[in-house]
């Protein structure tokens, strides 16, 4: 009981915040309309201020501007924004104080007009109003017990606030949304999700039961099983985990009013009924708990192998006992043939034990080297920034991703979904757990610097055409034979590098033409402890 | 040829000697004994083995067709600017632990410290380290014993809570003029001293007591009486032609061993020189320093005073003054006095005694010899030991009489190491408040109300001034692993100062140390530049003008009373005279929980994992004692049981016991290893005396000691070569005739080895090597070498890649000692390579003998065929051991592993690689920078850690390299060169300065 009560309160406050955000936006619209027509202050803010300031999201390089109008006079603010440096140099105590506080970072002078500044200030101020209102309403409403009562109270407040009739359409849409949300909430409160509902959700998701409004089944874009090929759309599990931190109402809302363009196009104005939304959500929640299922693949290779074995055994048996096939030669040829096949399979498999060429594991983010490296022409070393001087090439840290993805928020193939993961990692301060593709055993020491900087070997020599890969794949076998072979064949930068100037015998041999070129193995690259120590 | 021996049994029974224990070993049921699995504890029989074999073959086939395990690659969220994955960073810092000081570089990889190197920029330590400094990194990761946060009566609490309670309590005690005492180890940090001062300012009733477990109180007092300065002078061993030491183990443990070793070997190395210093040692037990002496005289502790009086008298005669009337001197003292007098102002007389009278006499002798201002420098005193035993005695009395209200304990453990620990423990109960800053729950800390754990030194900011004008900084190399707080920060907070200790140090440096230099003078940025430079260098040394030697007035009037006191000293009744000493590995026992140190064999006795009673073999024979016999050692008050070790060179009718063992609250490694001998120290003549009179009673039981050198016999081959200085001056290759013969007559069936570009070689100067063992621990830290525990050591399975073999010659009563560091000799005709059935050990293009662990199948043929016995076999997977807890089987302990060296698995042979990872790293660096490799660029771990700089490494193909020059030296020889395996490791034979022959 207690739980449901608190849950209800949380719910109420959420509903309120939706409305209030809406309110804030509309009131802002009003302000802007009446005061200015030149430039949208929100855009101005984003363009000029947002790099260093936020409104209500905490300090960045510069201070959080929420409520700035209460601490400083408008006149002072305008002067400061026009030229902070002049103010600081003139020794204005407030200016100097804030300059000191924010690590002496200079705010650049602006060439805005006074009216534009006023507009921006008004824009900042508008945030403050909404927050103030939000808290007051929530506080007021906390005493109200019944949801229906809340609804009417809210509506009354909204009506009061809006006054004019031109907003009625919007009001209606709010009402509709509220209805959906309340409905959904009631459901999840009144009844625990049953297995049948999950099952129904699964069927809806997989298209076994069609949606009422002719919406294509989710499974056409979102996998429910793990697959090998590339699907740019997030899998059901991905969606479920992404949703896991949101509450049911938000999820339902997202399904009905998708943020991504792609979803909007697919839905094409159609929408899911409330029940359908509920089932889908229920299914997603269950998937988040249980994880994705593996496709049960037929072990074709094994079956073929067993088949061959059977054929061999049959021919043997036939040759010795049943003698169905008249010509013994046929049997003998069959035995020989299958024998060769079997031993061949065994040898090949044995050779590949421990090797994992073409290993292409699932990554936590659908990162494509093709898009980054080929289409956007980003140099390998921009992200992998240490192969020139370290043994490791360096898996890019999240802040490197954020250099670009601070601005680029929508991907060509994946929309916002995958890029959001990077942003989330950055915000939650949790590094991305990539899956290692190239795994060398512990007892092998490999240095990128030695090969990239000293040996002047290109990345592609070992990694293949990585810029053609959507899914990163291990190109080489990475077997010892492969290493050693390359060492025997590749020419060392022998005369170019000053390091080798003391290798007198080899220089003499080169001069006398005794050897054509110095390969890596001639200077000890194939010694055991060149790599194993 | 001289007869060399490594143990008494061998000396007596040669030839064809049988090690009794060895016989036993071979008679043991081999499978029954060794089949015990360390990791599972089950007996593995042959059948089980076959079953496992069959199963694993099947399993491998099945598994191979499955997918490989998924490995994660988790990058930083935001990479710190200076951290590059795969590249090591070095931070200059200092190892400061009470009485130990060393300027160091901390090697960190991906943010965790993994190795300690000496800091070459410090002119005190010049890049040298000791075993304890090297091992201190492991105590950082001692997760099971380090305290995780503040405690109140052993319950977890918060720092806020502690501060809320302690500050008002201190204030109220102070208001009622109650007594507050800070009981602290010697503090060489000027900033910490200032913190103490600030604390005293807030609480004026505070008294600060400095206490050292191994005290030099008598020296301080004697110098106060003699010169009016309560200091320990600086020494200049490099200026001394004759060094006479009375029980001062200055190469091992006495005061500042790293500095003294460096100075000492300067005059012992013979690089092109024809002279060296002469070192005479009078001592009871055979110490590391005694082993290095040219002449050594075993004496009883009680005889020291009389010998010094005689020496003083003889010197007085030389100086023309009338001698005091004392018993007549033996002849050799007269000779010694003559030599000392001849080397006036170029000699040095030292004593390790903690008796003021003796130290006064030593001062008088040095004054007579004019050594002050020449080999002894009072103007640059050492601050390493500041404890005055009298203060501690007073404190304990006051505590017993309930005169103390608050006791704050910093970095000392009197409940373990104070001679009258019981009184101290009783006194603790009379306190209103007791606080300890100890980072572990040691004996004292477990008795106090509040524990405020200090950071490990690798997590702290601090500074140090080990010697006047030689400043040094400590900077953290890792974030705090646990919820600990710097002790200084706690004190500052309680004193009402709202300042972090880092800012505090900076302030102190800006106000007091910055003005001492004139390199940086810019008004605004000057200090910042100075600070950054000092931090980067790790040290700041006051540029001292070659000061005119200040003549210190010596108070002659105190000498006669001192002599009288010594003469009148009565020897207490007791069968034996007992000498207590610090050993190289454990020192005063603070690092007893460090498995590396516990497994480091004593440089002389070669025993690890135990302390023992050293007894002279002559006396043992008389009393029927043998190695491993348990005896009860008893004085009037104390008695402990310890095993006996027959120690050649031990003075007749004396015994020696190492301190630092028998900890009860050290932790899982150090608890109850050996017995606590601090109980036998006594407070006499106002100071703690590290000798006593005791009785020995044989109990009849046997104890098995873990010796590391019974299984390293070289079977009477000419391993040790030596000469005397006189002979060397006449013929530089004296003692090394065999080498020339070998060089000339060598014929080989093998092709001459060819080395492309580089041929790595290592040369060890046996005249410089003291045998201190820093290299062993450095090697262990660098190469991820496991610790195996006492039982395994007893089975001769010790894993150290390098060992220091010790040989004796001459008489059992007073032998000469030889130390030879031995690692893989990297033979060009390596016998191990020929016998490996799987080619797991191969010769490289650069002359190294490569060992490939992943190829090794563990036949151990190579071990059998190695003439030097330097190969080690992994009998168990030590990383997974559950039975024996070393550092490798815990997640924290594994943080110390060097990621550039693979951790070997079970069933694999390993050995010294000459730090191939460092060779490869330096080569790669040179290639990257497009330049030749510099001669001294590559330093194997052993070479880098050596305080004596006895090891040289380099390219033998380059005839101008240092190592080639050493190989050309007439003293150079190779071990077992007669078998023509052509080792790449050379030794410069030992030269002793014995002008009169052996006395």
| B205 shares its domain with B235 | no
Inter-chain CB proximity B845 and A395 less than 8 Å: no
The answer to whether the predicted template modeling score (pTM) of the entire model surpasses 0.80 is yes
The answer on B350 and B308 residing in a single domain is: yes
Residues B952 and B977 both lie in one domain: yes
B920 in A contact zone (CB under 8 Å): yes
Question: Residue A350's closest CA among A358, A340, A342?
Answer: A342
Percent of chain B whose pLDDT exceeds 90: 59
CATH number at residue B612: 2.40.40.20
Strand bridging mode B232-235 / B376-382: antiparallel
* Interfacial B residues in 102-131 facing A (CB < 8 Å): none
Instruction: Report whether pLDDT(B191) > 90.
Output: yes
Q: Note whether B410 and B361 are same-domain residues.
A: no
Q: Please compute Rg for chain B using Cα positions.
A: 29
Instruction: Give the Cα separation of B154 and B450 in Å (integer).
Output: 8
CATH code of the domain in which B935 resides:
3.30.70.20
Best mutation site among A300, A428, A518, A524 for testing chain B: the one with the most B CBs within 10 Å? A524
Looking at the domain assignment, is residue B122 inside a domain?
Answer: no
Distance set, CA B807 to CA B478, B647, B784 (Å):
42, 13, 28
Q: How confident is the model at residue A191, as a pLDDT?
A: 52
Point out which residues pair with A294 in neighbouring strands. A226
Q: Among all residues of chain B, which has the CA nearest to that of A525? A: B845
In 3-state terms, what secondary structure has residue B799?
A: coil
Check pLDDT > 50 for residue B31. no
Q: Are residues B817 and B875 in the same domain?
A: yes
In a shared domain, residues B209 and B247: no
Instruction: Return d(Cα A464, Cα A478) in angstroms, integer.
Output: 12
pLDDT of amino acid B890? 84
Using CA atoms, how far residue B852 sits from A487, B778, B859, B862, B909, in Å, is 18, 22, 14, 12, 9
Q: Please state whether the peptide bond connecting residue B15 to the residue before it is cis, i.e. omega within 30 degrees of 0.
A: yes
Q: Given an 8 Å threshold on Cβ–Cβ distance, is B931 in contact with A397?
A: no
Rounded to whole angstroms, the Cα distance separating B295 from B281 reads 6
Nearest to A397 among B78, B927, B933 (CB): B78
**What element of type H or E holds B512?**
none
Chain B residues 745-774 within an 8 A CB cutoff of chain A: 754, 756-758
Chain A residue numbers with beta carbons less than 8 Å from the beta carbon of B68 are 356, 359, 439
Which of these, B162, B126, B192, B92, lies nearest to B949 by C-alpha position?
Answer: B126
Mean pLDDT of the region B528-534: 93
By DSSP bridging, strand B433-436 and strand B450-451 are: parallel
Indicate the burial class of B189 (C-beta count within 10 angstroms; 0-12, 13-18, 19 or more).
Answer: buried
Answer for the pair B873, B851: CB distance below 8 angstroms, yes or no: no
Confidence (pLDDT) at B871: 95
By the CB < 8 Å criterion, does B717 face chain A?
Answer: no
**Cβ within 8 Å, pair B77-A505:** no
Residue B557: what pLDDT? 86
Contact B65/A349, CB-based, under 8 Å?
yes
Q: Identify the burial level of B439 via C-beta atoms within 10 angstroms of its C-beta, where 0-12 means exposed, 13-18 middle and 19 or more buried.
A: buried
Higher pLDDT, B997 or B158: B158
B510 or A146, greater pLDDT? B510
Residues B510 and B576 in one domain: no
B-chain residues within 8 Å CB-CB of A439?
68, 71
Q: What is the pLDDT of residues B688-745, one digit of tens each?
A: 989 888 888 999 899 999 988 774 445 567 788 889 998 999 888 888 888 888 888 7
Structural domain for B602, as ranges = 567-707
Of A362, A82, A50, the closest CA to residue A226 belongs to A362
User: Do B913 and A529 count as a contact with CB atoms less than 8 A apart?
Assistant: yes
One DSSP character per residue, A99-149 reads HHHTTTPPPPP----HHHHHHHHHHHHHHHHHHHHHHHHHHHHTT---HHH
Q: What token pair was written down for A157?
A: 């407040």
Contact B854 A506 (CB under 8 A): no
Q: 3-class secondary structure for B134-156?
A: HHHHHHHCCCCCECCCCEECCEE
Q: Where are the strands (E) in B437-523, listed by range?
A: 450-451, 462-467, 470-474
Output B510-519 pairs: Cβ under 8 A, ≥24 positions apart.
B512/B190, B513/B190, B513/B471, B513/B540, B516/B469, B516/B542, B517/B542, B517/B543, B518/B543
B133 belongs to a structural domain: no
Domain count, chain B: 5
Distance CA B87, CA A389 (A): 8
CATH T-level fold of A191-294: Cytochrome Bc1 Complex; Chain D, domain 2 (1.10.760)
Q: What is the mean pLDDT of residues B137-158?
A: 91
CB-CB: which of B77, B840, B854 is closest to A399? B77
The whole-angstrom distance between residue B631's C-alpha and the CA centroid of its chain comes to 28
pLDDT at B56 over 90: no
Instruction: Compute the nearest-CA separation of B110 from chain A (Å).
Output: 12
Q: How far apart are the C-alpha atoms of A314 and B745, rounded to whole Å?
A: 73
Residues from chain B that touch A454, judged by Cβ atoms under 8 A, are 924, 927-928
pLDDT of B266 over the 80 cut = yes
Q: Which residues of A touch B846 (CB under 8 A)?
A: 524, 527
pLDDT tens across the length of chain A (533 residues): 334 334 444 444 444 444 544 444 333 333 333 333 345 777 777 777 777 787 777 677 777 787 777 777 778 888 888 777 777 777 777 777 777 777 666 777 777 777 778 777 877 777 765 444 443 333 333 333 444 555 566 666 666 656 555 555 666 666 666 666 666 555 554 456 677 778 888 888 888 888 777 777 888 788 877 776 777 888 888 887 777 666 666 777 777 777 777 777 777 777 777 778 888 888 887 777 777 777 677 788 888 888 998 999 998 888 888 888 888 888 889 999 999 998 888 888 877 777 888 888 888 888 999 999 999 999 999 999 899 989 988 899 999 999 999 888 888 888 888 888 898 888 889 999 999 999 888 889 999 999 999 999 999 999 999 989 988 999 998 989 999 999 999 998 888 889 998 888 888 888 898 888 889 988 889 999 999 98
Contacts of B824 in chain A (CB under 8 A): none
pLDDT in tens, B361-412: 999 999 999 998 889 988 889 999 999 999 999 999 999 998 999 999 999 9
- Shared domain for B456 and B479, answered yes or no, is yes
Query: What are B565-619's pLDDT values in tens digits?
Result: 888 877 666 778 999 999 899 988 889 999 999 999 999 999 999 999 999 999 9
Closest partner residue to A523 among B65, B78, B845, by Cβ?
Answer: B845
> Are B764 and B898 part of one and the same domain?
yes
C-alpha B688/C-alpha B674 separation (Å) is 22
Residue B523: inside a domain, yes or no?
A: yes
Q: What is the pLDDT of residue B193?
A: 94
Scanning every residue of chain B, which has its alpha carbon at the shortest distance from the alpha carbon of A424? B77
Average pLDDT, chain B: 87
Asked if the Cβ–Cβ distance from B84 to A389 is below 8 Å, we say yes
**B345 domain-assigned:** yes
User: Has residue B211 been placed in a domain?
Assistant: yes
Q: Which of A243, A280, A189, A247 is nearest to A15 (CA)?
A: A247
Instruction: Look up the ipTM and state it.
Output: 0.83
CATH number at residue B326: 3.40.228.10
Give the mutation candidate from A352, A488, A521, A529 for the B interface (greatest B CB count, under 10 A): A529
CB distance B298 to B650 below 8 Å: yes
SS3 sequence, A445-493? CCCHHHHHHHCCCCHHHHHCCHHHCCCCCCCCCCCHHHHHHHHHHCECC
- Is B909 domain-assigned? yes
A/B interface, count of CB pairs below 8 Å: 162
Residue-wise pLDDT tens digits, B449-474: 999 999 999 999 999 999 988 999 99
Long-range CB contacts (< 8 A, 24+ apart) of A295-300? A295/A225, A295/A226, A295/A227
Secondary element (H or E) of residue B314: helix B304-319
Residues 42-61 of B with CB under 8 A from A: 60
- Angle value at C-alpha A229, between A223 and A235, nearest 5 degrees: 20
**E strand spans, B651-716:** 654-658, 682-684, 687-689, 691-702, 706-707
Closest CA relative to residue A28, chosen from A112, A156, A129: A129
Paired residues of B103 in beta bridges: B94
Q: What values do phi and psi take at B945, rounded to 5?
A: -80, -15
Of A449, A498, A502, the CB nearest to B924: A449
Residue at which a domain ends, from B336, B351, B382: B382
Q: Please indicate, yes or no, if residue B459 is contained in any of the structural domains.
A: yes
Residue B157 to chain A, least CA–CA distance (Å): 29
Contacts of A529 in chain B (CB under 8 A): 844, 848, 850-852, 913, 916
Given B75, B844, B851, which is nearest A395 (Cβ)? B75
Among residues B33, B2, B7, the alpha carbon closest in space to that of B795 is found at B33
Q: Judge if B203 and B225 occupy the same domain.
A: no
Q: State the nearest Cα–Cα gap between A311 and chain B, in angstroms.
A: 23
Going by pLDDT thresholds of 50, 70 and 90, the confidence category of residue B753 is: confident
What angle in degrees, to the nearest 10, is found between the helix axes of A248-256 and A274-290?
120
Q: A2-166, what's its fold? A: Cytochrome Bc1 Complex; Chain D, domain 2 (1.10.760)
Same domain, B839 and B901: yes
Residues B579 and B669 in one domain: yes
């Amino acid at each position: 009981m207690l739980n449901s009560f608190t849950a209800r309160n949380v719910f109420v406050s959420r509903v309120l915040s939706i409305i209030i955000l809406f309110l804030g936006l509309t009131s802002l619209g009003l302000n802007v309309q009446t005061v200015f027509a030149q430039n949208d202050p929100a855009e101005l803010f984003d363009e000029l201020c947002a790099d260093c300031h936020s409104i209500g999201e905490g300090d960045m390089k510069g201070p959080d501007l929420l409520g700035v109008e209460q601490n400083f006079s408008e006149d002072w603010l305008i002067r400061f924004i026009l030229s902070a440096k002049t103010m600081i140099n003139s020794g204005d105590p407030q200016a100097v104080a804030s300059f000191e506080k924010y690590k002496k970072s200079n705010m650049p002078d602006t060439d805005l007009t006074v009216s534009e500044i006023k507009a921006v200030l008004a824009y900042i101020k508008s945030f403050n109003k909404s927050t103030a209102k939000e808290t007051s309403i929530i506080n007021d409403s906390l005493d109200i017990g019944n949801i229906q009562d809340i609804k009417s109270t809210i509506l009354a407040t909204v009506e009061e606030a809006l006054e004019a009739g031109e907003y009625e359409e919007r009001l209606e849409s709010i009402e509709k949304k509220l209805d959906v949300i309340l409905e959904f909430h009631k459901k999840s409160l009144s009844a625990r999700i049953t297995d049948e509902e999950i099952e129904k959700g699964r069927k809806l998701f997989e298209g076994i039961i069609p949606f009422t409004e002719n919406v294509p089944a989710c499974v056409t874009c979102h996998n429910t099983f793990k697959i090998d090929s590339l699907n740019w759309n997030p899998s059901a599990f991905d969606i479920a985990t992404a949703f896991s931190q949101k509450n049911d109402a938000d999820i339902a809302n997202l399904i009905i009013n998708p943020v991504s363009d792609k979803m909007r196009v697919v839905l094409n104005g159609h929408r899911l009924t409330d029940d359908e939304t509920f089932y889908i959500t229920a299914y997603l929640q269950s998937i988040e708990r249980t994880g994705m299922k593996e496709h049960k693949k037929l072990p074709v290779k094994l079956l073929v192998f067993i088949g061959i074995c059977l054929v061999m055994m049959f021919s043997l048996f036939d040759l010795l006992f049943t003698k169905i096939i008249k010509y013994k030669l046929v049997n003998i040829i069959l035995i020989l043939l299958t024998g060769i096949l079997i031993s061949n399979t065994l040898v090949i498999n044995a050779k590949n034990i421990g090797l994992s060429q073409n290993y292409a594991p699932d990554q936590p983010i659908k990162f494509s080297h093709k898009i980054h490296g080929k289409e956007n022409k980003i140099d390998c070393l921009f992200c992998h920034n240490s192969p020139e001087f370290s043994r490791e090439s360096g898996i890019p840290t999240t802040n490197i991703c954020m250099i670009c993805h601070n601005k680029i928020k929508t991907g060509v193939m994946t929309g916002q979904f995958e890029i959001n993961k990077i942003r989330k990692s950055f915000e939650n301060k949790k590094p991305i757990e990539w899956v290692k593709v190239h795994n060398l055993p512990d007892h092998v020491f490999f240095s990128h610097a030695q090969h990239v900087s000293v040996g002047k070997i290109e990345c592609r020599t070992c990694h293949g055409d990585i810029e053609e890969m959507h899914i990163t794949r291990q190109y080489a076998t990475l077997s010892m034979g492969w290493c050693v072979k390359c060492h025997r064949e590749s020419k060392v930068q022998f005369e170019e590098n000053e390091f080798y100037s003391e290798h007198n015998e080899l220089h003499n041999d080169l001069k006398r033409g005794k050897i054509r070129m110095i390969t890596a193995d001639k200077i000890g690259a194939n010694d055991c402890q060149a790599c194993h120590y | 040829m001289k007869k060399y021996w490594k143990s008494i049994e061998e000396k007596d029974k040669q030839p064809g000697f049988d090690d009794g224990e060895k016989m036993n070993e071979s008679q043991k049921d081999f499978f029954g004994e060794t089949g015990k699995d360390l990791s599972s504890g089950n007996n593995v029989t042959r059948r089980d083995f076959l079953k496992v074999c069959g199963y694993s073959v099947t399993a491998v086939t099945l598994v191979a067709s499955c997918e490989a395990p998924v490995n994660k690659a988790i990058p930083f969220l935001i990479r710190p600017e200076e951290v590059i994955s795969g590249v090591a960073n070095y931070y200059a810092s200092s190892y400061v632990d009470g009485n130990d000081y060393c300027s160091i570089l901390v090697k960190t990889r991906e943010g965790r410290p993994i190795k300690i190197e000496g800091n070459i920029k410090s002119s005190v330590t010049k890049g040298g380290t000791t075993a304890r400094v090297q091992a201190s990194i492991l105590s950082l990761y001692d997760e099971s014993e380090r305290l995780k946060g503040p405690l109140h009566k052993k319950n977890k609490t918060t720092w806020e809570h502690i501060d809320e309670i302690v500050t008002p309590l201190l204030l109220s005690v102070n208001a009622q003029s109650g007594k507050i005492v800070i009981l602290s180890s010697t503090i060489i940090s000027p900033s910490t001293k200032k913190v103490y001062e600030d604390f005293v300012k807030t609480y004026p009733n505070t008294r600060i007591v400095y206490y050292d477990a191994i005290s030099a109180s008598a020296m301080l007092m004697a110098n106060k009486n003699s010169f009016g300065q309560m200091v320990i002078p600086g020494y200049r061993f490099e200026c001394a032609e004759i060094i006479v030491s009375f029980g001062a183990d200055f190469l091992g443990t006495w005061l500042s061993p790293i500095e003294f070793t460096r100075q000492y070997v300067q005059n012992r190395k013979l690089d092109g020189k024809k002279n060296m210093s002469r070192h005479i040692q009078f001592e009871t037990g055979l110490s590391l320093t005694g082993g290095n002496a040219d002449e050594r005289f075993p004496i009883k502790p009680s005889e020291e005073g009389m010998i010094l009086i005689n020496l003083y008298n003889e010197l007085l005669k030389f100086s023309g003054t009338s001698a005091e009337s004392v018993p007549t001197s033996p002849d050799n003292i007269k000779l010694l006095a003559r030599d000392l007098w001849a080397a006036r102002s170029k000699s040095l007389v030292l004593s390790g005694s903690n008796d003021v009278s003796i130290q006064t006499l030593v001062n008088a002798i040095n004054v007579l010899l004019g050594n002050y201002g020449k080999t002894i420098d009072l103007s640059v005193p050492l601050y390493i030991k500041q404890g005055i035993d009298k203060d501690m005695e007073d404190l304990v009395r006051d505590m017993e009489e309930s005169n103390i209200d608050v006791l704050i304990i910093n970095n000392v453990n009197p409940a373990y190491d104070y001679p009258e620990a019981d009184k101290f423990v009783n006194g603790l109960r009379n306190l209103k408040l007791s606080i300890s800053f100890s980072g572990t729950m040691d004996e004292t800390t477990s008795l106090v109300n509040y524990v405020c754990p200090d950071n490990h030194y690798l997590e702290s900011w601090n500074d140090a001034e080990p010697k006047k004008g030689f400043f040094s900084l400590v900077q953290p190399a890792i974030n705090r692993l646990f919820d600990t707080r710097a002790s200084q920060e706690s004190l500052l907070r309680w004193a009402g100062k709202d300042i972090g200790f880092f800012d505090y140090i900076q302030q102190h440096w800006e106000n007091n140390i910055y003005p001492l230099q004139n390199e940086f003078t810019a008004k605004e940025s000057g200090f910042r530049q100075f600070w950054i430079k000092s931090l980067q260098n790790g040290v700041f040394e006051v540029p001292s003008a070659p000061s005119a030697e200040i003549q210190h007035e010596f108070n002659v009037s105190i000498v006669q009373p001192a002599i009288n006191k010594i003469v009148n000293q009565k020897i207490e009744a007791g069968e034996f005279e007992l000498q207590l000493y610090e050993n190289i590995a454990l020192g005063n026992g603070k690092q007893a929980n460090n498995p590396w140190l516990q497994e480091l064999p004593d440089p002389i006795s070669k025993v690890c994992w135990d302390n023992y009673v050293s007894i002279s073999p002559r006396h043992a024979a008389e009393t029927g004692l043998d190695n491993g016999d348990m005896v009860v050692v008893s004085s009037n008050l104390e008695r402990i049981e310890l095993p006996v070790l027959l120690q050649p060179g031990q003075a007749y009718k004396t015994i020696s016991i190492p301190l630092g063992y028998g900890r009860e609250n050290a932790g899982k490694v150090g608890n109850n290893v050996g017995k606590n001998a601090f109980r036998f120290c006594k407070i006499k003549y106002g100071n703690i005396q590290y000798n006593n009179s005791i009785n020995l009673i044989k109990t009849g039981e046997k104890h098995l000691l873990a010796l590391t050198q019974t299984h390293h016999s070289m079977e009477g081959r000419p391993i040790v070569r030596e000469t005397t200085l006189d002979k060397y001056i006449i013929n530089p290759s004296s003692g090394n005739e065999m080498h020339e013969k070998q060089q000339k007559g060598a014929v080989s069936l093998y092709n001459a080895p060819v080395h492309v570009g580089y041929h790595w070689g290592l040369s060890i100067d046996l005249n410089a090597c003291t045998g201190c063992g820093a290299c062993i621990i450095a090697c262990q830290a660098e190469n991820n070498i496991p610790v195996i525990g006492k039982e395994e050591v007893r089975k001769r399975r010790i894993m150290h890649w390098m060992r220091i073999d010790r040989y004796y010659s001459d008489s059992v009563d007073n032998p000469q000692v030889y130390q030879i560091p031995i690692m893989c000799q990297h033979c060009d005709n390596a016998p191990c390579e020929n016998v490996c059935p799987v080619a797991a050990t191969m010769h490289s293009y650069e002359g190294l003998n490569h060992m490939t662990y992943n190829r090794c199948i563990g036949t151990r043929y190579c071990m059998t065929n190695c003439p030097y016995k330097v190969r080690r076999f992994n009998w168990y997977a030590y990383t997974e051991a559950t039975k024996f807890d070393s550092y490798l089987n815990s997640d924290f302990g594994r943080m110390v592993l060097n990621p550039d060296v693979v951790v070997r698995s079970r069933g694999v042979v390993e050995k010294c690689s000459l730090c191939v990872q460092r060779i490869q790293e330096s080569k790669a660096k040179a290639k990257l920078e497009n330049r030749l490799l510099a001669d001294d660029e590559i330093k194997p771990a052993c070479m880098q850690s050596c305080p004596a700089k006895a090891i040289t490494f380099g390219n033998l193909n380059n005839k101008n390299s240092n190592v080639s020059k050493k190989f050309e030296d007439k003293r150079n020889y190779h071990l077992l060169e007669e078998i023509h395996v052509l080792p790449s490791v050379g030794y410069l034979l030992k030269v002793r300065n014995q002008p009169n022959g052996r006395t």
